[in-house]
Structure 1
């Protein structure tokens, strides 16, 4: 006799607190700040763009000289008399013939400066001139064809730097307009900090945030916001005054004209107009707890390391930041915050040291920060780092450091295929409640389709059910400007006037709106497991590949571990892979060699290798069924720092494990790779360097979690069906003795797995809402195939 499948929610059985589980992560990549969330419409407003930022950059990036009606002028960059030493460059307009006016035009970001008919725009500039003080500076917003939409006139009456402000109202809507500054007369006109902001910023804050993007962030209702980034936190010079300095928070507060420009390590310029005060303010505005991440005195990208004896100022930066956020107006940094306009503390609870750190230098330095912070602020939750991957020796080193020093949380990062997320659904089941908590500070499956969002939703029910071990989690990255893409996928996409949330955004929103405060026991019965008995050995094509390097290989041997059969994959004589710049110039690169294929399930590949020249190592590909489905041993991977085993499914990679390793020129390496079923091990010169299992997804009949919302008294049930068929089950709310149930339903379903949102269809994939009223404490529900359902029982 078959029983009706059921999800039984024991409403009186409460579990772990969910706390601040779901939040957001802001990093200035993909022009997320300048040209994005930060509402400044002028690109390169202070003429500080530089080849340090990007080889193509120069001080007049985003600007064009304007000479009208016979006017002639020379435009140069001055630095002998700046507004201040931290903003050394300014524009000099040397008037040769006034004509109908000479000056500069700013092209804005993307297609230009977006303006709307009837909207007001706040213009400001620092200016001075050495003659013709009676001649006005005319400032216009113009179309690309020269049509004037709005203008203002300013009299620059001083030879000293003076700030001038005006309001311009646009008479038209144009997403590709220009800002033009023209003058007549003679002599020289000097300009700096040329700025144009929409009056309509988020919450009308002057110099604030772009309203539509900030509203999408607020609409998520995140519990926290991690900022100001990932890699850009620690990549740079150790000197805070260098143009190429690491991200130092004290450079980002105070008047914007006094904030130094900075090289963003995503290869563009960062004005720092969106700085720490603005980050704290944004967190407060959207109800998110701030989680700042500070550098730990180590740049792993360029191996810059602060000597231990010189670490004090870096530690002091962390202590001063806590005082800036939480100190009252009688403290040094609390007083500075109050002067900036926020006398009340921001209520900082968390602080992170380091981002994706790998290597001994960070873990030597972390304890100094941890001890100093805990000594002065014992209640502050301190976050340690476990590197950029989900497993491996550096990941383990991060956890070892966190346990040893009693970090409150460990920052884990991973970007993987949707299949990896489904295969690792139970990842945190055996993590201990008395260990440091997991802060899943960056994660995403590769893509912004509905399938990606569905896999992430399934995984997030696992994060919820393991709230005893998982303290915080945030999808990454948050924002992407479509014309300046450094990285994808991203949660929110925008151009200069439109914005939309991806399917991933709406999944995050569902989980944030319906997180609840405390877990409730939920159990499944009578559900049929999806068929998962497929045995898939890791076999197929074998090949070697290099990039910009020259290698010798010899003695490549394949051994069948079941019967001892041996195959020599080359003659045993050395052969060469060479893809150097010289090879490319000569048209003779040999990037890869094919080693054939195997249908064996348990085998070992051995070879000897020697690098002749080049910046990194090579890849040994194995288990390859086509170009998009394969396994890779990266020997001397990213910046020649790693030995990595990775899996690629449908073109989407997942790093299964990582260890630090550096390939040296002319050194001979004895390499061995062993595949046993789905277990993979790699040795270098006899030392086991990587060990992992390429786990296959075992699809659950349903993925589910349940929680209790203290504020409303609601019971929340989340159910994800990733199967290709619908699943019918009863939802039973045990111990809820009511004559009927009022249930709000939020559901994402009915979408093709490859559906995406676009500017033209921004909410093609988004939740639909409905309501049911049912007698008793149970109701039957048909969970559609590929669906995400949230019940809110009132």
Structure 2
């Protein structure tokens, strides 16, 4: 499988080594589609070195089985049902003979409690994270194990395929005593394979106790234990910062959950002190995303990686208020104070002298020089704004009192708008917060419709850290929409100081979230089309914006909301009755009271759930099913109409979903009441695929089980009013135009170049006149283009979306170019 990685890397290297091709000048157009005019007399905003960065969260097996180079899954036998209901201490292992996991007084240490006991002859085999360990012929792999034994019989360590074909000469290890000691050896691969298995076997009688069974490639990124190809892909982006370790991973376990048998905390918030020191002393933990995290990749490694790639570290600490669909806040002042002190200790760990308590710990780990931490984020996507902000202020006050130069970053909740967003922004402005973290994942159309989002932000208010964003799919059109939006981030660099696409990594066999920037399996990795786009922007930033204006254009106007009407649920059982669609003058377009005992006029769109007509109502009874959408056969073509119905939740986690304006299974609106574990309501819009939803309206909301609600949706063209039990619940107007053309011009002072960046997300070329005013440029420039089919993707087998760099001629202070359909173009022009 490594052949694909080698081919791609070789192609890129070959492109870099060749002379630049020469692109002919574009023919002049009497009437260009667009004109970009540079205001050469104006001074634009400065762009900092930290404008673009990366956000690392252990989601999609990004750490264990990903960036952390350990090849053995569940190396310390700590997996259990707290991590995942299907887990046990032997998850990831197959055993022969008597092999059991034990948690007793013979354990390795109190934080690494479970170990493997082999009563000989016996053994275990591990296949790693992707159904096989990947090894390359001639490469070295370092094995280690902590062991004790009451027998003098040796352990045999072997590396082979599933059918027993050897991949390396075996190791023989003699465990010398019944006291825990670390034993190590090296395996040299004799064959290349991505389907290896590591086996450890005791051949004689007696009892062997094993823990921390590890196999590491000798070759890691800068020798610091990270998988080389993945780390190199991140380094190639030249990020200005690394935000870590999450995300939802940080703030969703702010309270300890104790194992009843041992009174040992099994599921707890991410706490940095758990992740430092010798790896055998680090406690593993349940991961919010449904698996176990070993903490082999911990805070020391995050700081070290940031330093290795020249990026500023940006740790995020829990504020003890949950988010990500949960609503809890600590009521324990002592616990809150302990986390605040932990944050102060973290700053000392990063920056303190070797004579300080935590600086000494850092030095013992191999880094006496401070890491130079300048920023700390407090919390992530909290749904309880009052409780969160009260805690944030306590963190900020304590940090500023001891470390006044540290930037303390707040946040605005989980959405790009709504009640929580507005509340937190108001609080942050009033409190003089330095920087606010915004997060949103929206459809590509949202990004094309909101290019002016930050134009109206207060220039004297808190700065924006766009800590997580992405267009919700992995096609090239999504990348084009993101690129158009990135031009607005740069144009507003006086407000938007940092931005990071998210998430960073995804293991193709273990995915909890899409889309993702970099994909991988056990032996190869590839960048999505958005990776190529981000790389183009991140390596061509410039240091100052050059103000511009654009004239002309081909915008897409909004259309009235028409289409079928539907019903749906999400992990909820519900009853729907007396559905009617009428015009404002009373004409009936659709009516169904289900009293005839059938639902002949309805059909499934999602194909999930259990729908039936029961007692004169249409019911869905599967409380585990998500997105159970059914739709009426009648399509609503009127532009003004009213939908009314009765809805009753009978069981489950959430509330109701009332779809309308349904075009197909991937294009619709729905009114989501009692969503996000019955904590929020929203109007969501799907565009192109069911995964690509954006929120047009959001507010706190819940529904009561067995209470019947009268719901009404009034549609007037693009404007919608939502009424529950006679009271207006909310309204919105989906009237934004879609702008497929975007641009920004920046200056690279050090290189003496202008960088003209043009995004054409339409399916037709854009003939564009560029007027640089009084700025003189060389007649020859360098042009890099990312172009292709908007429906294309980069995959493991092929990466068709790649940048192409050419030399362009015929440039002057005014010139015209034709920018290809579905493209992003970067022109680097030498100034005279």
Q: Say whether the fold is shared (TM-score over 0.5).
A: yes
Distance 1:106 1:245 in 2: 27
Correspondent of 1:497 among 503, 523, 542: 523
Query: Shift of residue 512 of structure 1?
Result: 0.4
Matched residue SS, 1:117:
coil
Task: Give TM-score, length-normalised by structure 1.
Answer: 0.92
Provide the residue aligned with 1:34 in structure 2: 64
Task: Show structure 1 runs of 4+ deviating over 6 A.
Answer: none
Contact 1:579 1:591 in 2 (8 A): no
Contact 1:578/1:590, CA 8 A, preserved across alignment: no
Deviations 1:594-617 (A, max 9, x none): 395433323443444332322211
1:366 to 392, 396, 401: 392
Determine if the alignment matches structure 1 residue 77 to structure 2 residue 95.
no
Residue matched to 2:822: 786
Normalization by structure 2: what TM-score? 0.88
CA deviation profile, 1:252-305 (whole Å, cap 9, x unmatched): 111111111111111111101101111111111111111111111122455442
Q: Structure 1 residue 759 and structure 2 residue 796: aligned? A: yes
Counterpart position of 1:183 = 202
Structure 1's 435 and 194: CA in aligned 2 closer, same or farther, altered over 3 A? same
| Aligned pairs (5 A) from 1:143-182 | 143-150=161-168, 151-182=170-201
Aligned pair partner of 2:752 in 697, 704, 713: 713
SS in 2 for 1:413: strand
Q: Corresponding residue for 1:69?
A: none
CA distance, structure 1, for counterparts of residue 243 and residue 130 of structure 2: 27
Single out whichever of 564-573 and 770-779 deviates more from structure 2.
564-573
1:656: which partner in 2? Answer: 696
Instruction: Give the drift of 1:328.
Output: 2.0
Deviations 1:668-724 (A, max 9, x none): 434333333222332434554433332444325x31101122332322110111222
Q: 2:79 aligns with which of 45, 49, 59?
A: 49
1:64 aligns with 2:102: no
Deviation at 1:666, TM superposition (A): 2.9
Q: 2:774 matched to 1:744?
A: no
The answer to whether the Cα contact below 8 Å between 1:383 and 1:407 also exists between their aligned partners in 2 is yes
Q: Confirm or deny that 1:289 pairs with 2:312.
A: yes
Is the CA contact 2:254–2:318 (under 8 Å) kept in the aligned structure 1?
A: no
SS in 1 for 2:516: coil
In 2: Cα distance, 1:298 partner to 1:583 partner: 27
Give the distance between the partners of 1:697 and 1:494, measured in 2 at CA: 37
Partner of residue 483 from structure 1, selected from 493, 502, 509: 509
2:367 corresponds to 1:327: no
RMSD: 2.5
Equivalent residue for 2:608? none
Q: For residues 633 and 118 of structure 1, do their structure 2 counterparts lie closer, same or farther at Cα, with a shift above 3 Å needed?
A: same
Is the CA contact (8 Å cut-off) linking 1:547 and 1:591 kept in structure 2? no
Aligned to 1:264: 287
Match of 2:368 in 1: 343
Q: Are 2:269 and 1:246 equivalent residues in the alignment?
A: yes
Report the Cα offset of residue 12 of structure 1.
5.1
Partner of 2:682: 644
Distance 1:177 1:707, change over 3 A: same
Distance apart, 1:144 and its partner CA = 1.8
Counterpart selection for 1:7 from 36, 51, 61: 36
In the other structure, the counterpart of 1:309 is: 333
Distance 2:590 2:578 in 1: 7
Q: Indicate yes or no: 2:653 matched with 1:634.
A: no
Classify the secondary structure of the residue corresponding to 2:767: strand
| Cα 1:308–1:690 shift into 2, 3 Å | farther
Quick one: distance in 2 between partners of 1:342 and 1:396? 43
Structure 2 equivalent of residue 274 of structure 1: 297
1:86 aligns with 2:128: no
CA 18–688 in structure 1, closer or farther in 2 if over 3 Å, else same: farther
Cα distance in 2, alignment partners of residues 693 and 322 from structure 1: 46
Distance 1:775 1:395, change over 3 A: closer
C-alpha spacing 1:666/1:284, structure 2 compared with 1 (3 Å): same
Q: What is the CA distance between 1:557 and its match in structure 2?
A: 5.0
- Structure 1 contact 643–689 (Cα < 8 Å) conserved: no
Deviations 1:529-580 (A, max 9, x none): 21535x511122122222453434455454534x465678345989534333
Give unpaired runs (5+ residues) of structure 1: 67-71
Distance in 2, matches of 1:668 and 1:3, equals: 61
* 2:466 corresponds to: 440
Alignment coverage as a number of residue pairs:
768
Q: CA deviation at 1:755?
A: 1.4
Match of 1:672 in 2: 712
Quote how far apart the aligned CAs of 1:329 are.
2.0
- Counting only pairs closer than 5 Å after superposition, residues 224-243 of structure 1 correspond to structure 2 as 224-236=241-253, 238-239=255-256, 242-243=265-266
Q: Residue in 2 aligned with 1:769? A: 805
Encode CA deviations 1:188-242: one digit per residue, 9 max, x unaligned: 011000001001100122xx10000000000000111111111111122513961
In structure 2, do the counterparts of structure 1 residues 10 and 163 end up closer, same or farther at CA, with 3 Å as the change threshold? Answer: same
Q: 1:590 to 1:653 in 2, by over 3 A?
A: closer
1:299-326 deviations in whole A, cap 9, x for unaligned? 2455442116232112112222122222
Match among 424, 449, 463 for residue 450 of structure 2: 424
Instruction: Measure, in 1, the Cα distance between the counterparts of 2:271 and 2:674.
Output: 31
SS at structure 1 position matched to 2:42: strand
Deviations 1:501-520 (A, max 9, x none): 01100110011001111111
Shift of residue 425, structure 1, vs aligned partner:
1.6
* Residue 742 (structure 2) aligned to one of 703, 708, 711: 703
1:582 & 1:709 partners in 2: Cα distance?
57
- State the alpha-carbon separation in 2 of the partners of residues 550 and 250 from structure 1: 43
SS of 1:141's partner is strand
Q: Are residues 189 and 302 of structure 1, via their aligned partners in 2, closer, same or farther at CA, if it must alter by over 3 Å?
A: same
Match of 1:214 in 2: 231
Cα distance change of structure 1 residues 447 and 613 upon mapping to structure 2, 3 Å threshold: closer
Matched-pair contact (CA < 8 Å) for 1:546–1:577: no
Cα 1:445/1:776, change in 2 over 3 Å: closer
1:39 deviation in Å? 0.3
The 2-side partners of 1:81 and 1:420 are apart by: 58
